[in-house]
Amino acid sequence: MSERRSAADSVRWQGFSTRAIHAGYDPDPQTGAVNVPIYASSTFAQDGVGGLRDGFEYARTGNPTRRALEANLAALEHGTYGRAFASGMAATDCLLRSTLRPGDHLVIPNDAYGGTFRLIDKVFTQWGITYSVAPVSDVAAVRDAIRPETKLVWTETPTNPLLNVGDIETIASIAHEAGAKLVVDNTFASPYLQQPLTLGADVVLHSTTKYLGGHSDVVGGALVTDSEELDEAFAFLQNGAGAVPGPFDGYLTMRGTKTLAVRMDRHCDNAEKVVEFLNSHDKIEAVLYPGLENHPGHEVAAKQMKRFGGMVSVLVKGGIEEAKAFCARTEVFTLAESLGGIESLIEHPGAMTHASTAGSLLEVPANLVRLSVGIEDIDDILGDLENALR
Ligand SMILES: *Cc1c(COP(=O)(O)O)cnc(C)c1O
């Protein structure tokens, strides 16, 4: 079986950046290497049958690079157990299969990540799972969507791509009253801005591909929890189904987490300026950003987030053609899916990341454009948007 571990011993440090830089790995006692080595080994020598040296036997079950990353991620989320996966979707799949059985029901946001919705709607429903859709920003609607057979309440906050905000603490108590678990997809906020386990969530899910990795060079996912029982179920499937990240992926992701705080602060600084610029632009119908005082989730976001993040969505005046033209004309912003990297990205969710939601309850507005504001110089970012909207 997989080795057990707790990040508790790495949470010696209060400061977020100190944990980001040190949790999960101490300099190698033999060589002094300050960074975790890329342990490119699929198997580990045993001292006599079953005599494992550091808990490792086979790299699908556990690998030292991955173990360092898992402890690091757990520490960042103030959680006890971390599990790393080959992608955010692999983490999602593991979570759904660990918590749901045929006949069970889950509640999902009306603007969940498109891939999450697709996996639930196209695959899990075939295995006897049912779901209801409720806006994460509407606590009463979430409560109404819960049924006796509800085992999981899924939240994303802020949501992708509409940046709606859910009150984690309140939704956690609603879910728990009903005997359901709460998972928060914390990809958009990152643990620097929001730590859902401290607000009552049972599991935090990440696409580490985004802010945690932070450099658009690696795909990965993670689950963090305080529940030993849940972690055991995750570990069983992580090993049993095998959707694990390789050691090089683990190394890259951990290299990313070390600078999360400084990157996030710059993402937020730049996003705030972008919001200010677009909010008064006559080609923009509306700016969706939880940092805006008129955003319906502003108060909740201010309560549970440190800052409001680097993601900004806008509704472009006109319609789909104007929205697509805006996306096609930027130069600093690269037209591409994904988010959370150091470089600015722009995309049209209706035709790209969220195309799979067309015709469903989760369909996104045709004139919606999503910006992942990078950490380039703000004058270049604003100049680029100004040109593209001209
Ligand atoms: C990208 C993303 C995912 C899926 O993660 P992958 O690493 O692409 O598999 C899940 N949730 C959110 C909010 C995302 O942005």
**Which atom, in ligand 1's list, is nearest to the CA of 338?**
1
Q: Please confirm, yes or no, whether 384 is among the known catalytic residues.
A: no
Specify whether the CB–CB gap between 272 and 371 falls below 8 A: no
Residues of the chain scoring pLDDT < 50: 1-9
Does the active-site annotation cover 210?
Answer: yes
Instruction: State whether the beta carbon of 225 lies less than 6 angstroms from ligand 1.
Output: no
- The CATH number of domain 16-258, selected from 3.40.50.1820, 3.90.1150.10, 3.20.20.70, 3.40.640.10: 3.40.640.10
Q: What are phi and psi of 19, to 5 degrees?
A: -65, -45
What CA–CA distances, in Å, run from 17 to 72, 119, 175?
11, 34, 32
pLDDT at 14: 83
**What DSSP character marks residue 143?**
H
Residue 289 alpha carbon to ligand 1 centre in Å: 19
Span 96-155, pLDDT tens digits: 999 999 999 999 998 888 899 999 999 999 999 999 999 999 999 999 999 999 999 999
Dihedrals phi, psi of 315, to nearest 5 degrees: -100, 125
* Residue 365 near ligand 1, beta carbon < 6 Å: no
> What residues are paired with 105 via a beta bridge?
130, 150
262-388 CATH choice from 3.90.1150.10, 3.40.710.10, 3.30.470.20, 3.40.50.1820? 3.90.1150.10
Q: Is the CB of 219 under 6 A from ligand 1?
A: yes
* CB atoms inside a 10 Å sphere around CB 252: 22
- For the stretch 226-252, pLDDT in tens is 999 999 999 999 999 999 999 999 999
Is there a catalytic annotation at residue 60? yes
113 is catalytic: yes
> What is the chain's mean pLDDT, rounded?
95
Q: Which residues are CB-neighbours of 28 under 8 A, at least 6 positions away?
A: 37
What are the φ/ψ torsions at residue 370 (nearest 5 degrees)?
A: -110, 130
CA–CA distances in Å: residue 133 to residues 142, 144, 173:
8, 10, 19
Domain boundaries, the chain: 16-258, 262-388
Instruction: Select from 157, 159, 209 the residue to mutate for testing ligand 1; criterion: most ligand atoms less than 8 Å from CB.
Output: 209
Strands (E), the chain: 81-85, 105-109, 130-134, 150-156, 181-185, 203-207, 221-225, 284-288, 311-316, 334-335, 345-347, 368-372
Please report the pLDDT score of residue 11 as a whole number: 59
- Read off the tokens for 204: 């935090």
Side-chain-side CA neighbours of residue 389 (13 Å): 22
Q: What does the pLDDT read at residue 63?
A: 96
Shared fold status for 16-258 and 262-388: no
Bridge partner list, 370: 313, 347
